[in-house]
Amino acid sequence: MGEYRIALSSDFVKADGSSTFPMFDLGPLGTEPGVAFEYLKSAGEVRADELEGFDALILLGHEFTRASVPSGGRLAIVARFGVGYDTVDVAACSDNDIALTITPDGVRRPVAVSIIALILAVTGKLLIKDRLTRQGPEGFAKKAQHMGVGLVDKTLGSIGIGNIGAEMYRLAKPFDMKFMAHDPYADPAVAEALGVRMVDLETLFREADILCVNCPLGDETHHIVSAERIAMMKPSAFIINTSRGPTIDQKALTQALQEGRIAGAGLDVLEQEPPDADDPILRLDNVVLNPHALCWTDQCFAGIGATAIKATFEVMRGREPRGIVNREILENAAWRQKLEAFRGAFGE
């Protein structure tokens, strides 16, 4: 085995050849002995023919489907740049001896900070007050009509208490809120250490003053925030979503916001991205919207990039990388053979 070859999806570079995200430090790919890297050219869906002869793929926003799997059998890892993997055919990876990794270490703090930012924005009515200020004396005269909501003793609820959900509670501790969550896969020790009361979904929706969605999108969680569950919420409650848009029935949420059946929402994600220009949610004053980019900071992307590169290097050295999604790959004999071959060629 000569070189360890790493491909990067074409959306990492602009049309002029410059880096889309210069804070993603590619330096280690150029200085690590035995490593060569190239950008792919295909857009939208990664093409299998372009991946022939590569050992690893670092994937940004493009799709990796069953048709993307190269026939040569050399590809060993798809390192997703981020934590969402709804653009990746996980079964296709497993069936073809490919590990799929995500970068939880890189997004834990940035996304949790984004959640806190949305909580403060919606409860403090930040956007409304910004608009009033820009109206001059006329706006200032209306400020008493837009009182914010304090957080002390309010209940912060979460669907999910995993990597990001747990970090959210750590950051929220100084606000002196009550914590509750629903997560059938939660580690009870983590919940206990954070002071989070674990409850069923119905209790969560009925009692939470601020309900945050911190679960991945899947069959179990598609529209987990449904019309029926929104109807259980307090009229003073807020919904925050930084996970994936389809976890919420957006039509039901929009109607509830329009009718004042809940107080507001902070959304970094939408069911359709980008939304249609006439989507009614865009015209609401009681929702704060972001284009699935609130956590996008220099530090966030530097951390994600470093984590993705580290995963590809771990495989190169014949070691199991962190953040594997398809955990069954660890028992896959053909994938283990790939690791052994890499260890023999590049191991320390």
DSSP 16-67: TS-BS-TTS--HHHHHSTTEEEEE----SB--HHHHTT-SEEEESSSBB-GG
Q: Give me the catalytic one of 131, 146, 197, 292.
A: 292
DSSP label of 97 = T
Q: What are the DSSP E strand ranges found in the chain? A: 4-8, 35-39, 56-59, 77-80, 99-101, 155-159, 178-182, 196-198, 210-213, 238-241, 264-267, 287-289
Torsional sign, CA 4, 5, 7, 12: positive
- Catalytic residue at 138? no
Closest CA to 176 of 154, 207, 159, 208: 154
Q: Give me the catalytic one of 273, 283, 327, 328.
A: 273
Task: Give the Cα separation of 8 and 12 in Å (integer).
Answer: 7
- Catalytic residue at 222? no
* CB distance 63 to 88 below 8 Å: yes
Torsional sign, CA 45, 51, 56, 58: negative
Query: Is 85 strand, coil or helix?
Result: coil
* CB distance 45 to 62 below 8 Å: yes
* CB distance 40 to 31 below 8 Å: no
Task: Give the Cα separation of 312 and 139 in Å (integer).
Answer: 54
Q: Give me the catalytic one of 5, 50, 244, 314.
A: 244
Closest CA to 313 of 11, 37, 92, 1: 37
- Catalytic residue at 45? no
Neighbour count for residue 344 (Cβ, 10 Å): 10
* CB distance 215 to 243 below 8 Å: yes
Q: What residues act catalytically?
A: 244, 273, 292
